[in-house]
Amino acid sequence: MSILVAKGGTDFYTTDIELIQYIQKTIDRIGINAKKILIIPPDFTRDMSQAGKITKFAYNLLKDKAHVDIMPALGTHAPMTENEIREMFGDEIPLTHFIVHNWRDDIVKVGTIPGKEIEEWSEGKVNFEINVEVNKHLFDGYDLILSVGQVLPHEVAGMANYTKNIMVGVGGADIINKSHFLGAVCNLENLLGKADNPVRRLFNTGLKRFFKTLPINYILTCIEQDPETNENIIRGFFSGNTDEVFYKAAELSRKINIRIIEQPIDKIVVYLDPDKFKNTWLANKAVYRTRMVIADGGELVIIAPGLKEFSKDKEIDKLIRKYGYAGTDKILEYVRKEKDLRQNLCAAAHLIHGSSEGRFKITYAPGHLTEKDIENVNFNYCSLKKAEEDYNLDKLHKGWNTLPNGEEIFFIDNPAAGLWTVKEKIYREK
């Protein structure tokens, strides 16, 4: 089955009425006889994807004809709170219809990708085998599994979503850990914005090889944030179950989500929404999405009033505090020598991703972590009060700003919205 619905463009605008029509068309083509349906949207940290709205509309279209469950693709994230569920999905869906993904316990192994294939894809950088583990509920007899989410640049998979939403979003520890490490050793700057890469080949191969009997279909969006109103505009809606669906979405995302700046920037200031960014596991998106445009010797200032920990997962939080964001060479050395990090390669990958590799300065202004906390993980510290005084958020606008002292800075209020780079660093698909 090829693309069912493909709507989009840089000037395309989707109203709610049109969105419901696209969803209905998708359901009519792939789920007309489905009586038991599972929807897999992202979690609250990715609510700009409009997947919450799509899930709500799909549920309302299906609920009188089928039993519908919803399992947010948490990956390693914390379970959504009731308030987050209601804010993202509305008040109409009963809480009893939500399934919580537990990446450590509620999983089954469905197959293994041999080390020789990983070695080939990574050009010899790693050669471990990877167990494909996913949430056991995928095999609960669903007639339709509808994976919903946004395609945009991503530090691990190059471009987010599609098969990643299954393999990582509702995946188990082995594939989460090793896929992230695979991406890290292949260098995230070689992957960002690229739809075809070693991690994507892992996800696509695993799904095609071991999930042939599961009725998985995709609804993928491309979102652009309006620079004036901050409204998240759906520029693309793609649905189906083939690679073509993903590649068409990725092509559009590269046009609307990658900001190419003419020259490297000496100082970038990023503000993080306190309701969404409470740990560096998520907050370091400010690092991933800007590192390709920051000048050598430059500085990234991250104003994070909600920051209170390094990871919601206590085991990973402990590892981050122990090893810190030490750069690729040091983290790889730790992986070789230290069993606890070797057993948590996802954490090791995160520590690589979150480092500037000594090329630029990363300064955090956290709401709740101490100066000692921040400096112990190899970041620089600035008090939140001082940061808010130095960079008056009420007067800053997106992009270039000149401060009262004459300093020029580049301001970003939502690093999750895209990727900032200079032309010579961005990879284009052939």
Inform me whether the pLDDT recorded for 165 exceeds 90.
Answer: yes
- Between strands 5-8 and 232-240, the pairing is antiparallel
Kindly state the tokens that stand for 280.
């560096």
The widest CA-to-CA distance across the chain, in whole angstroms, is 65
Please write the tens of the pLDDT for every residue from 330-353. 999 999 999 999 999 999 999 999
Bridge partners for 115 per DSSP: none
Angle between the N-to-C axes of helices 345-353 and 173-185, in degrees from 0 to 180, rounded to the nearest 10? 30
Q: Of 25-34, 82-91, 252-261, 332-341, which gets the smallest average pLDDT?
A: 25-34
* Closest among 37, 44, 257 to 147, alpha carbons compared: 37
CA distance 281 to 50: 22
pLDDT of residue 430: 41
Q: CB under 8 Å to 179, separation ≥6 — which residues?
A: 130, 156, 157, 167, 168, 199, 202, 203
Angle between the N-to-C axes of helices 345-353 and 328-337, in degrees from 0 to 180, rounded to the nearest 10? 160
Question: DSSP of 137-182, one letter per residue?
Answer: GGGS--SEEEEEEE--EETTTEE-STHHHHHTTTB-HHHHHHHHHH
Distances (CA, A) of 317 to 95, 157, 211: 29, 23, 33
Distances (CA, A) of 156 to 183, 327, 350, 355: 5, 16, 10, 14
Please write the tens of the pLDDT for every residue from 185-233. 999 889 999 999 999 999 999 999 999 899 999 999 999 988 777 788 9
Domain architecture of the chain: domains with CATH = 5-259 (3.40.50.11440), 262-425 (3.90.226.30)
CA distance 332 to 181: 10
| Type of residue numbered 27 | I
CA distance 216 to 51: 16
CA distance 49 to 308: 25
Distances (CA, A) of 288 to 155, 229, 246, 310, 319: 6, 25, 22, 16, 20
Share of the chain above pLDDT 90, in %: 85
What value does the mean pLDDT of the chain take?
A: 93
Question: DSSP of 47-108, one letter per residue?
Answer: GGGSHHHHHHHHHHHHTTTSEEEE--B-TTSPPPPHHHHHHHH-SSS-GGGB----TTTSEE
E strands in 185-308: 216-225, 232-240, 258-261, 265-271, 294-304
Judge whether 146 and 4 are in contact, CB under 8 Å: no
CA distance 334 to 337: 5
Please write the tens of the pLDDT for every residue from 296-312. 999 999 999 999 999 98
Inform me whether the pLDDT recorded for 49 exceeds 90.
Answer: no
Inform me whether the pLDDT recorded for 1 exceeds 60.
Answer: no
